Amino acid sequence: MCSDLAEQFDELRGQFDKLSDDSSYNGINLLRGDNLKLTFNETGTSTINIQTKDGEIINAAYLGLSDLEASDLDFDDDIDTLLAKVKEVLNTVRSQASTFGSNLPIVENRTEFTKMMMNTLETGADNLVLANGNEEAANMLALQDDRQHCPPRRCRWPRRPTRRRSACSSRNVLFARHSKRAESGLNAMGCARSGRSDRFN
């Protein structure tokens, strides 16, 4: 009877070691003492390290579970000592599981925040690069309607501004006009004098 119990204990101990060895993900096994470092920003100033206490390997040897012989179950005191050891091992494993579990909400919250940030940035990039064909077509049609129904004053091109003559150019024009008038007057007076002289002769 005792030998059967000892064999079952040794079998469970071996399964515990196998479970510890197989508990790896993406090449990282926390139960084997690996350090999982998570970086939460691009500068690397916000990080978290997830690891067992002092980087210890959680296995039967670390927990103090050794092979059990049938003779170890002959006396009640030995059985009580073994049961106390198993309870201590369970408390150690639960404490380590609680430590891992306390880091889980932090990682989940930061992961959710990072996903939301990525979605926001992708949406902004799409709005800057991609255009909605239906929306652009509607805007183009509305612009064409505005051009067709706009008032004539708004549709006319602005007139070219007329050049203003300076004061000097205006004076030169007036002087030229008076000069021509004076010259024509002198010519008329000359013709009149020549006509009178012809009469007297």
Cβ atoms 50, 30 nearer than 8 A: yes
Q: Tell me, yes or no, whether 64 lies in a domain.
A: yes
The answer to whether residue 86 sits within a structural domain is yes
- Residue 88 has a pLDDT of 92
Exposure letters 115-137 (e unless 16+ CB within 10 A, then b): eeeeeeeeeeeeeeeeeeeeeee
pTM: 0.52
Confidence of residue 120 (pLDDT cuts 50, 70, 90): very high
Task: Count structural domains, the chain.
Answer: 1
Does residue 74 form part of some domain? yes
Rounded to 5 degrees, what are φ and ψ at 65? -100, 115
Domain that holds residue 87: 2-127
pLDDT tens, 49-91? Answer: 898 888 888 888 888 888 888 787 888 888 888 889 999 999 9
